[in-house]
DNA sequence: GAGGGATTTTGACACTGTCAAGATTGCGCG
DNA sequence: CGCGCAATCTTGACAGTGTCAAAATCCCTC
C-alpha cells in the first residue's frame, strides 16, 4: 500500500493535511496554494477538491488537528495551585503557540474566523476549549481559598486575552521576542496569580 | 482642482490611501485588490504603482496613518492615576481598535509584520508607540507610590499583550464580543491596577 | 514653444482558486 | 467471477490576482 501504481493515491486526504502543514511551516501562509500542495502530494491540481470542498475547508481541517494537539496544554492541576504552577501554565501555552505557529495561526487567526465559512466542527472545538478553561477557573474557586467574588468568566476572558496577545506579538515579531519569554511568562503568571488572591 | 479633465489625477496618492481604507472597511481584506482599488479611484490598473512600489508599501502607508490616529489613545494622565483611569484607558484602546479595525489589522497584523518587507517608517512608528508606553509606566513609578521593584518593561509587555489579545479576539469574533466589552475592560483595568499596588 | 520628467495607460506574464467534463480505478452485488 | 457504479483522479478552461515593460499623455520649466 506504500508504493501505489499511479492513479489512485490511497490516502490522499491524510497526505494533504500533512503536506499542507509542512508547506505552511516551511514557506509560510503565502506558500500554501492548492496547486503547490497538489504538486507536493504528487497529484494533479484539482485532486484535493475531492477531499475538501475548498481551501477554507482544508484550512479548517488543519486547524481542527491543531486543537486536538492543543488539548492538554490547557489542563492545570488544581491540587496545590501555586504561582509557579500558573507561570508554568503560561509557559506551556506560549511554547505550544510558538512551536506550532502554523497551527496556532489557523486556530486563532482572522483567516478562518472572519471568513464566515468556518466549519462548525472547528467552531465547536474552539468553544469547548474556552469553556473548559472557564470551568477550570470555577473549580479553583471551589477548591482553593480564592476570592468567591471573582467573576470567573471575566477572569478567563482577560487572562486568555493576555496569553493570546503574547502569542500573537511573539509569532508576528512585534514588541516581544522569544529571548525574553521566560521573564514575561513569570510576569504574566504572577499577575494571574495575584488576581486570584484578592480578598 | 476638484474636477480634473482626464489623464492626470492630481492627488492620486491621497485618493488611493483613502479609497483603500474605505475598501478595507466595506469589503474586508479580500476586497482590497490593487485592480479594484484602481478602478474605485477611477484610474487604470497599474497607475497606483507610480505612488507605491507594491501592495505591501501601500498597506504600510495605510498602517502609518493608523498609528498617527492612534497617538493620543496611549496617553494616560499620571496625575491622580487610579483604577478607574486605567479602566478608561483600556476602554479607549479597545474602542479605537474596534472602531478602526481596518487600520488596527494592518498596524498589528501578521500581513505586514511577517512579510519581511515592512517599511522602516512603519516599524519606527510602531516601536516608538511601545517605547512611549514603557516610559509612561516608568513615570508612574517615579510619581506615584508604586512598587519600585516592578519591572516596567515586563509590565508593559504583558499589559500590552492583554490589550492586544482582547482586540484580536474581539475583532475576529473569537470568545469575546462587544456586548460584554464594559465588564471586560473593568476586569483588565483592575488587574493592571492591582499589579501596580504590589508592595 | 520645446523638451524633459512625471504620470498614466495598454499589453503581457505567471500565478491563484475553482468549475465542468472526461478518464481511470476499486468495490460491492449479482 | 464479472459487471456496473461510485469514488477518485486528470485535463481543460475561466476569471481574477500582483506586477513588469513599453508606449502614450500631460504639466512645468527654460
Specify the pLDDT at position B79. 80
DSSP A199: -
Largest CA distance in chain B: 69
Domain ranges in chain A are 1-51, 63-196
d(CA A179, CA A192): 22
pLDDT band at B2 (very low <50, low <70, confident <90, very high): very low
- Which three cell numbers, joined as nine digits, stand for B10? 492630481
What pLDDT is recorded for position A2? 34
- What per-residue confidence (pLDDT) applies to B6? 62
Mean pLDDT to the nearest integer, B22-26: 97
Residues of A near B (CB-CB distance < 8 A)?
Answer: 28-29, 105, 108-110, 113-114, 126-127, 130, 151, 154-155, 157-158, 160-166, 168-169, 171-176, 180, 183-184, 186-188, 190-191, 194-195, 198
Residue B45's nearest nucleotide, by CA–C1', is C9
Domain B63-196: CATH architecture, name and number where available: Orthogonal Bundle (1.10)
Written out in words, the top-level CATH class of the domain with range B12-51 is mainly alpha
* Gap between the Cα atoms of A139 and B108, Å rounded: 35
Burial class (CB in 10 A: 0-12, 13-18, 19+), B35: exposed
Whether residue A126 and residue B174 make contact (CB cut-off 8 A), yes or no, is yes
Q: Name the CATH architecture for the domain at A1-51.
A: Orthogonal Bundle (1.10)
Residue range B61-102, pLDDT digits in tens: 999 999 999 999 999 887 889 999 999 999 999 999 999 999
Please give the nucleotide, over all strands, whose C1' is closest to the CA of residue A41.
D9
pLDDT confidence of residue A143: 82
- B70/B74 Cα distance (integer angstroms): 8
**Which residues in chain A come in under a pLDDT of 50?**
1-4
Angstroms from B11 CA to nearest CA on chain A: 33
A169/B119 Cα distance (integer angstroms) = 18
Amino acid at each position: 500500500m506504500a508504493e501505489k501504481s499511479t492513479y489512485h493515491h490511497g490516502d490522499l486526504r491524510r497526505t494533504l493535511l500533512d503536506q499542507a502543514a509542512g508547506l505552511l511551516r516551511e514557506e509560510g501562509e503565502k506558500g500554501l496554494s492548492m496547486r503547490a500542495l497538489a504538486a507536493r502530494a504528487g497529484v494533479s491540481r484539482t485532486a484535493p477538491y475531492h477531499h475538501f470542498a475548498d481551501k477554507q475547508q482544508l484550512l479548517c481541517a488543519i486547524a481542527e488537528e491543531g486543537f486536538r494537539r492543543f488539548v492538554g496544554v490547557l489542563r492545570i492541576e488544581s491540587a496545590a495551585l501555586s504561582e509557579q504552577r500558573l507561570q508554568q501554565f503560561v509557559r506551556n501555552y506560549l511554547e505550544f503557540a510558538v512551536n506550532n505557529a502554523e497551527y496556532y495561526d489557523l486556530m486563532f487567526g482572522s483567516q478562518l474566523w472572519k471568513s464566515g465559512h468556518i466549519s462548525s466542527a472547528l467552531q465547536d472545538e474552539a468553544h469547548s476549549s474556552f469553556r473548559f478553561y472557564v470551568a477550570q477557573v470555577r473549580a479553583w474557586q471551589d477548591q482553593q481559598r480564592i476570592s468567591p467574588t471573582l467573576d470567573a468568566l471575566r477572569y478567563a476572558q482577560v487572562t486568555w486575552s493576555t496569553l493570546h496577545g503574547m502569542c500573537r506579538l511573539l509569532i508576528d515579531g512585534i514588541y516581544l521576542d522569544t529571548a525574553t519569554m521566560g521573564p514575561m511568562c513569570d510576569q504574566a503568571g504572577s499577575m494571574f496569580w495575584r488576581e486570584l488572591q484578592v480578598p
